[in-house]
Amino acid sequence: MLLEHGDDSLAVLLEGLTAQRIAEPPAAAPPDPARSAADLVGAFRRRAAELLDASAQADSGCLVSVEGYPLPIDCLRTVGVLEIAVHAWDISQACGQRLPLPEDLAAYLLTQVGLLVPRLGREPLFSAPVQAPARSSSGERLIAYLGRPVRPA
């Protein structure tokens, strides 16, 4: 389900970059039990490559219409970076690898996340922030801000 959600997220970001608009997303399709993990990973990788290519080609000065509201495309790119980084972390946790977010990336995202995911009015998309342990890395602070529990490695 996590890979399917990640692929759906990439599809929405790709629509924004290529069509300069994001319409209200359709209701999520139920998981397809016939799709193997390898199929899901392959689809996610293909969509991520398409997204990377589309992002490189998109004009930084244009606006994306998100349900009728204008959004600078560079803001959409930052949303995409946040979405991919955090879902990659989620997948790592689910697989038992528990890989940390790269420190430089997490530090940058910490400077942006308050604009993208405010402390108030964030439910149901995000849980309330949780307390990060003392001496947490930037990645741990980011994950905690997004409502995910931080567990020692």
pLDDT band at 1 (very low <50, low <70, confident <90, very high): confident
Residue ranges covered by each domain of the chain: 1-74
Query: For residue 37, what pLDDT is reported?
Result: 83
Bridge partner residues of 21 (DSSP):
65
Query: Residue 124 — φ and ψ, nearest 5°?
Result: -95, 0
Indicate whether 140 pLDDT > 90.
yes
At residue 71, the pLDDT reads 94
R_g over Cα of the chain: 16
Q: Is the pLDDT of residue 148 over 80?
A: yes
| pLDDT at residue 149 greater than cutoff 70 | yes
Q: How confident is the model at residue 125 (pLDDT cuts 50, 70, 90)?
A: confident
Is the pLDDT at 28 greater than 80? The verdict is no
96: three-class secondary structure by DSSP: coil
pLDDT at residue 153 is higher than 60? no
Count CB-CB contacts under 10 A for residue 67: 10
The answer on pLDDT for 33 being more than 90 is no
